[in-house]
C-alpha cells in the first residue's frame, strides 16, 4: 500500500465521523445550550483508534463548559459513531476547542489595523 493510500483512509473516516457527530450534536447536545456548537474538523490517528474532534462554540455559553458536556456525552456519542460508521475498532473521541476561528479573527483584526494605519499615513 502506498503512503498516499494510507493517508486517504484516515481522511475518509474522519469526514464520516465529522458528518455523523455534527448531526448528533445538533440534534441531541445542542438543545442543552443556547450557543451553536459546530464540529469543524476531525483528525484520526493512522491506526483509526482515536479521533480528535475539534468544535467551535458560538454564543453566550462558556466554551469550556460546553466542552465538558461533550466529554460527559462522549461514551454515548462514541456508541452512536460505532453504529453509524462500520470500523474494526470504535475510535476514542477526544474533544477540543478549535483555535482556528480565533486565529482567523486575530488575523482579520491585524489586517484591518494595517489598512487603517496605511490610510492614516497617506
Rg over CA atoms, the chain: 18
State how many domains the chain has. 1
pLDDT of residue 45: 92
CATH number for position 83? 3.30.300.20
The model's confidence at residue 49, banded by pLDDT at 50, 70 and 90, is very high
Distances, alpha carbon 57 to alpha carbons 23, 29, 38, 93, in Å: 15, 12, 7, 18
Residue 52's DSSP bridge partners are: 43, 94
User: 8 is in which domain, residue-wise?
Assistant: 3-121
pLDDT in tens, 23-35: 999 998 888 888 8
Specify the DSSP class assigned to residue 48.
Answer: S
Of 46, 38, 8, give the one whose Cα is nearest residue 21. 38
pLDDT in tens, 54-106: 999 888 888 899 999 999 999 999 999 999 988 888 999 999 998 876 666 66
**What is the value of pTM for the model shown?**
0.78
Amino acid at each position: 500500500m502506498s503512503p498516499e493510500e494510507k493517508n486517504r483512509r484516515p481522511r475518509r473516516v474522519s469526514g464520516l465521523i465529522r458528518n455523523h457527530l455534527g448531526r448528533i450534536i445538533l440534534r441531541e447536545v445542542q438543545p442543552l445550550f443556547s450557543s451553536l456548537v459546530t464540529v469543524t474538523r476531525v483528525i484520526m490517528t493512522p491506526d483509526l483508534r482515536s479521533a480528535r474532534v475539534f468544535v467551535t462554540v458560538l454564543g453566550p455559553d462558556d466554551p469550556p463548559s460546553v466542552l465538558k458536556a461533550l466529554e460527559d456525552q462522549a461514551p454515548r456519542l462514541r456508541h452512536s459513531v460505532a453504529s453509524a460508521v462500520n470500523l474494526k475498532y470504535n475510535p476514542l473521541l477526544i474533544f477540543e476547542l478549535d483555535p482556528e476561528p480565533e486565529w482567523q479573527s486575530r488575523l482579520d483584526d491585524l489586517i484591518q489595523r494595517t489598512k487603517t494605519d496605511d490610510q492614516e499615513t497617506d
